[in-house]
């Protein structure tokens, strides 16, 4: 059971049950991220950046179909239903009709992450969950002077959760890409997470969809959690954040090498060239398609990669970029929470 450093200088408290069951406490963190390895058409290598976050709680798993079904039934609002047709529209050349028909409604998938959810829908769920928790606090008898706030994480909070979960102190100068590939993907040839196909720069397939035990999303607890009890920050389903899209890199430093047939960028961390490692090279290798995304474009960052994304998208600084109304079969969410003491 975690504790939180409360606002207004209050003493930390333990979360009451059953609230504590699904939340992991993250202490205040101050660390450095060292850029990304590779790029796609919107994620260019960023400069080294320092991250500083206050204490907060994060949901220990992706929100499940069962949890979201309870939410929809309770509020009785059909506009909050997932877009099950996203299984078809996302992959027009694949036969995903069974997933469209059964994934959200069949009891078999109750403990699988909900997908087909827009950022707007996820925020309504967070408000509903906040109300439920605050009601439990008010009825607890012990925590009536406390109130919680539930929302989606910012990109920095999500990156903090990744750092807290997977890095060690001695890793502080390493790139996440190295840690992911050499320590986290698999242990003794057994895969530890659910991700998509990876290709070499020559186009050879390194991994196929089901090699890691998941052709589609898998149960939220199929793989072992981190040492702090957090499941699937990488892979399975990508996760909405509150943060708008950004790009700190000067796109004039991105160019197309016709000899290598690769997009090449420079990282200011160590000055060496970093080559594109994205799944699909047809789009990325056209220099006219390299268009940086900025806050004004109305896109939001989606983190962690999914069952259909390459290892490039598992890196904590890499984002998918989606409009808040978009619904996809590979995007879900997990809330974050802060707990504060009411002012007298």
Distances (CA, A) of 65 to 108, 224, 227, 290: 10, 20, 25, 36
Give the pLDDT confidence score for residue 189 in this predicted structure: 73
Three-state DSSP class for 319?
strand
Residue 53's Cβ-side half-sphere holds a number of Cα atoms within 13 Å equal to 25
Whose tokens are 């919680």? That residue is 148
Report how many domains make up the chain.
Answer: 1
The pLDDT-based confidence of 275 (bands split at 50, 70, 90) is: very low
The pLDDT-based confidence of 271 (bands split at 50, 70, 90) is: very low
**Domain of 23: which CATH number?**
3.90.1580.10
DSSP secondary structure code for residue 3 in this structure? E
* Average of per-residue pLDDT across 87-97: 91
Give the pLDDT confidence score for residue 293 in this predicted structure: 58
Lowest mean pLDDT among 256-270, 309-323, 324-338: 256-270
Find all residues with CB under 8 Å of 44, minimum gap 6, and list them: 247, 249, 251, 254, 265, 292
Q: Read off the pTM.
A: 0.83
Give the pLDDT confidence score for residue 133 in this predicted structure: 92
Find all residues with CB under 8 Å of 287, minimum gap 6, and list them: 255, 256, 263
Q: How many CB atoms lie within 10 A of CB 79?
A: 9
pLDDT in tens, 149-192: 999 999 999 999 999 988 865 555 556 776 777 677 887 778 88
Checking if the pLDDT of 31 tops 60, the result is yes
Query: What percent of the chain is predicted at pLDDT more than 90?
Result: 42
Q: Which residue has the higher pLDDT, 83 or 299?
A: 83
DSSP secondary structure code for residue 229 in this structure? S
Checking if the pLDDT of 322 tops 70, the result is yes
The pLDDT-based confidence of 199 (bands split at 50, 70, 90) is: low
Give the pLDDT confidence score for residue 96 in this predicted structure: 94
Q: Which two tokens stand for residue 1?
A: 């059971």
DSSP secondary structure code for residue 46 in this structure? P
DSSP secondary structure code for residue 16 in this structure? P
Which range marks the domain in which residue 163 is found? Answer: 3-341
Closest by Cα among 106, 65, 63 to 82: 65
Give the pLDDT confidence score for residue 298 in this predicted structure: 81
Q: Which two tokens stand for residue 103?
A: 């994934």
Three-state DSSP class for 136?
helix
Cα–Cα dist 17/142, whole Å: 12
Give the pLDDT confidence score for residue 180 in this predicted structure: 78
Q: Which residue has the higher pLDDT, 240 or 313?
A: 240
Rg (CA), the chain: 20
Torsion of CA 212, 217, 220, 226, to 10 degrees: 40
Give the pLDDT confidence score for residue 33 in this predicted structure: 81
Checking if the pLDDT of 6 tops 70, the result is no
| Average pLDDT of the chain to the nearest whole number | 79
Find all residues with CB under 8 Å of 5, minimum gap 6, and list them: 12, 27, 28, 54, 55
Q: Which residue has the higher pLDDT, 64 or 12?
A: 64
């Amino acid at each position: 059971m975690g504790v939180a450093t409360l606002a207004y200088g209050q003493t930390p408290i333990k979360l009451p049950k059953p609230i504590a069951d699904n939340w992991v406490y993250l202490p205040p963190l101050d660390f450095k991220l060292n850029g990304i390895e590779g790029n796609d058409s919107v994620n260019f290598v960023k400069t080294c950046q320092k991250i500083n976050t206050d204490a907060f709680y994060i949901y220990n798993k992706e929100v499940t179909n069962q949890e979201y079904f309870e939410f929809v039934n309770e509020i009785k609002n059909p506009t909050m239903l997932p877009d099950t047709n996203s299984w078809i529209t996302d992959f027009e050349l694949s036969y995903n009709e069974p997933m469209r028909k059964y994934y959200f409604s069949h009891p078999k998938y109750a403990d699988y992450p909900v997908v087909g959810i827009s950022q707007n829908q996820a925020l309504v769920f967070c408000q509903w969950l906040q109300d439920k928790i605050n009601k439990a606090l008010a009825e607890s008898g012990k925590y009536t002077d406390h109130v919680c706030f539930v929302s989606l994480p910012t990109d920095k909070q999500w990156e903090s959760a990744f750092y807290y979960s997977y890095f060690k102190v001695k890793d502080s100068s390493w790139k996440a890409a190295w840690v992911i590939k050499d320590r986290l993907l698999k242990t003794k040839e057994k895969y530890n997470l659910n991700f998509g196909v990876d290709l070499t720069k020559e186009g050879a397939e390194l991994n196929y969809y089901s090699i890691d035990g998941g052709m589609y999303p898998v149960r939220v607890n199929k793989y072992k959690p981190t040492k702090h009890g957090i499941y699937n920050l990488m892979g399975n389903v990508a996760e909405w954040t509150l943060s708008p899209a950004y790009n700190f890199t000067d796109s004039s430093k991105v160019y197309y090498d016709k000899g290598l047939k690769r997009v090449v960028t420079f990282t200011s961390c160590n000055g060496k060239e970093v080559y594109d490692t994205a799944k699909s090279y047809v789009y990325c290798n056209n220099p006219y398609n390299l268009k940086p995304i900025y806050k004004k474009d109305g896109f939001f960052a989606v983190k962690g990669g999914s069952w259909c994304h390459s290892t490039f998208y598992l890196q904590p600084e890499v984002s998918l970029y989606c409009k808040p109304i978009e619904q996809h079969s590979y995007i879900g969410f997990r809330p974050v929470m802060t707990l504060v003491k009411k002012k007298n």
